[in-house]
C-alpha cells in the first residue's frame, strides 16, 4: 500500500508496488540501479484528515522530503480555505479568513496540495487539487 512517509495509509486503493528503504518505488529503479526521478504518485494519493500528532509529523516529513528531492515545490498560500463573518449585529460585518499553513505543487503532474496543520483539539487536513486549481473548502 502507498503511504505518506513510513507508516499510515492515505490512498485510493490497494497497490502491489513496493518501496525501498529510501522511499523509492522498486519498479522505478532500472537494472543498472538508476532511479527514475520524473515520476510522482499523486494520482494514487488522496486528501486526509489529520487527527493525531503522529500523523501530522509523518505528513510534514513526507512533504519536506518531496521538496528536498525536487518532486514538489513549496509555493505561497494565496487564498483562504474558509471565509466567514463574526456574530455581530448585521450593520457590523466582521469578516475573517482562515489560510492553510502550506501549499505544495507537484513538478511532475501539477497537482496542488493544501496542508493545514492541526491545532488540537482542532484537526488538520491535507487536500488535493489534481488540476492544480485551488477551490475554497465547502
pLDDT tens across 13-48, in order?
333 334 444 444 444 444 544 444 557 889 888 899
Q: What is the Cα–Cα distance from 67 to 6, expressed in whole angstroms?
A: 17
- Cell numbers placing 67: 521538496
Within-domain flag for 92: yes
Within-domain flag for 22: no
Better pLDDT: 99 or 118: 118
CA distances from 49 to 9, 10, 18 (A): 12, 10, 25
Within-domain flag for 101: yes
Per-residue pLDDT, 129: 92
The count of structural domains within the chain is: 1
Within-domain flag for 32: no
CA distances from 41 to 29, 79, 138 (A): 15, 25, 26
Per-residue pLDDT, 71: 93
Within-domain flag for 58: yes
Within-domain flag for 79: yes
Kind and range of the H or E element at 126?
strand 124-129
Domain that holds residue 92: 48-129
Mean per-residue pLDDT over the chain, rounded: 75
Within-domain flag for 137: no
Amino acid at each position: 500500500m502507498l503511504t505518506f512517509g513510513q507508516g499510515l495509509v492515505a490512498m485510493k486503493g490497494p497497490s502491489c508496488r513496493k518501496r525501498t528503504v529510501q522511499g523509492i518505488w522498486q519498479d522505478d529503479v532500472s537494472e543498472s540501479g538508476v532511479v527514475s526521478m520524473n515520476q510522482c504518485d499523486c494520482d494514487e494519493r488522496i486528501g486526509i484528515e489529520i487527527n493525531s500528532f503522529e500523523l501530522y509529523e509523518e505528513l510534514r516529513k513526507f512533504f519536506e522530503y518531496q521538496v528536498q528531492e525536487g518532486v514538489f515545490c513549496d509555493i505561497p498560500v494565496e487564498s483562504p480555505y474558509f471565509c466567514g463573518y463574526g456574530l455581530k449585529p448585521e450593520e457590523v460585518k466582521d469578516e475573517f479568513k482562515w489560510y492553510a499553513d502550506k501549499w505544495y505543487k507537484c513538478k511532475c503532474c501539477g497537482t496542488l496540495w493544501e496542508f493545514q496543520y492541526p491545532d488540537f483539539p482542532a484537526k488538520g487536513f491535507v487536500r488535493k487539487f489534481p488540476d492544480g486549481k485551488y477551490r475554497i473548502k465547502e
